[in-house]
Chain A
Amino acid sequence: DIQMTQSPSSLSASVGDKITFTCRASQNIANYLNWYQQKPGKVPKLLIFAASRLQSGVPSRFSGSGSGTDFTLTISSLQPEDFASYYCQQSYSIPWAFGQGTKVEIK
């Protein structure tokens, strides 16, 4: 089974900051990597699929990159509504697997 590891587990940032966090797969998953945002008490929301394709309606300040085993999610200018948890998920093979998440908190 493919394991997903995210880092850091949490980070503090300010509105306007550019932030990047990473997701690593335990084996090559090409670009079969999705990113979800989850706010407290809410349902996860798809941000990016296929490592770098922005889901319709998602602001362009979000971007994803990577291929193989190493992936990144970047928020170019953090907005108040972006304080949330972010999860990567491999969609290369079943069993699907999520990373443990990165929580973005207000500095």
Chain B
Amino acid sequence: QVQLVQSGAEVKKPGASVMVSCKASGYTFTIYDINWVRQAAGQGLEWMGWMNPNSGDTGFAQKFQGRVTMTRDTSISTAYMELSSLRAEDTAVYYCATNYYDVSGYPYFAQWGQGTLVTVSS
């Protein structure tokens, strides 16, 4: 079955960078876009950006432009999200999710990783 497995929790100091990985299995990695969504404690879901694993094309929410990078290694079916210049407000659970299109062309987040807690603290 389709599965996304993310890397483990991270603790970082302000100003540092963090890289979270998302390993896909159960499908051809290059056919579904990978999106990244984060959620601070007690807060809602916040979309960060997407990546086409086939072409490597990316797009980011304005809020994260210049601070986020999304890459992939197709040989191991793994996507990566790197967030730099971390601040306390970046403390959150980070999710990867596949963007699936149904037969009529409607997109939705079909499969989610288990989430990775990133804590930014001095």
Bound form: Cα–Cα A41–B115 in Å: 10
Minimum CB–CB distance from B34 to chain A (whole Å) comes to 13
Q: Are B108 and A101 in contact (CB under 8 A)?
A: no
Q: Are A44 and B112 in contact (CB under 8 A)?
A: yes
Partner of A94, one of B45, B50, B112, B113: B50
Q: Are A32 and B106 in contact (CB under 8 A)?
A: yes
Kindly state whether residue A59 has any CB partner on chain B within 8 Å: no
Kindly state whether residue A72 has any CB partner on chain B within 8 Å: no
**Chain A residues within 8 Å of B112, by CB:** 43-44
Q: Are A43 and B95 in contact (CB under 8 A)?
A: yes
Task: Select the stretch in A19-27, A46-54, A62-70 that faces chain B.
Answer: A46-54
**Chain A residues within 8 Å of B95, by CB:** 43-44
| B59-93 with Cβ < 8 A to chain A | 59, 61-62
- The interface size bin for chain A is 20 to 34
Minimum CB–CB distance from A74 to chain B (whole Å) comes to 19
Q: Is the interface of B mostly helix, strand, loop or mixed?
A: strand
**Chain B residues within 8 Å of A34, by CB:** 108-109
- The interface size bin for chain B is 20 to 34
Evaluate whether A46 and B109 lie within 8 angstroms (CB atoms) in the complex, with A98-B45, A99-B44, A101-B45 already known. Answer: yes
Given contacts A34-B109, A38-B45, A43-B115, 12 further A-B contacts (CB under 8 A): A31-B106, A32-B106, A46-B108, A49-B102, A49-B106, A87-B44, A89-B45, A89-B109, A91-B108, A95-B61, A98-B47, A99-B44
Q: Can you list 28 A-B contacts (CB < 8 A)?
A: A31-B106, A36-B45, A36-B109, A43-B95, A43-B112, A43-B113, A44-B45, A44-B95, A44-B109, A46-B108, A46-B110, A49-B102, A49-B106, A49-B108, A50-B104, A50-B106, A87-B45, A89-B45, A89-B47, A89-B108, A91-B108, A94-B50, A94-B59, A96-B35, A96-B47, A96-B50, A100-B44, A101-B45
